[in-house]
C-alpha cells in the first residue's frame, strides 16, 4: 500500500511544499489559540466553565 502511494506522490511536482504548508497552518493555529487563551478574561473563562453545571438557560452578559 505504501509503495502505491509513494509512487503516485513522486509524480506530483512540488509535493514537498504540502507538508510545509500543513506545518505552517498547524503552527499558526496553535499560536492563535495560545494568544486567545492568554488574552481571554478570567471572568469569561469562569462563566463558560460553569455553564454545564447551570440548570437555567444561558443569558449573554452583553445584553
SS3 per residue for 7-41:
HHHHCCCCCCHHHHHHHHHHHHHHHHHHHHHHHCC
pLDDT digits over 4-53, tens only? 877 877 888 888 888 899 999 999 999 999 999 999 999 988 888 888 77
Retrieve residue 17's grid coordinates.
Answer: 511544499
Please check the confidence at residue 57 and state whether its pLDDT lies above 60: yes
For the CA atoms of 22, 28, 33, 34, the dihedral, rounded to the nearest 10 degrees, stands at 120
What pLDDT is stored for residue 12 in this prediction? 82
Higher pLDDT, 30 or 59: 30
Amino acid at each position: 500500500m505504501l509503495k502505491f502511494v509513494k509512487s503516485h506522490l513522486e509524480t506530483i511536482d512540488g509535493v514537498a511544499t504540502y507538508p510545509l504548508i500543513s506545518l505552517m497552518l498547524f503552527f499558526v493555529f496553535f499560536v492563535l489559540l495560545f494568544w486567545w487563551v492568554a488574552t481571554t478574561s478570567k471572568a469569561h473563562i469562569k462563566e463558560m466553565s460553569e455553564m454545564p453545571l447551570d440548570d437555567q438557560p444561558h443569558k449573554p452578559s452583553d445584553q
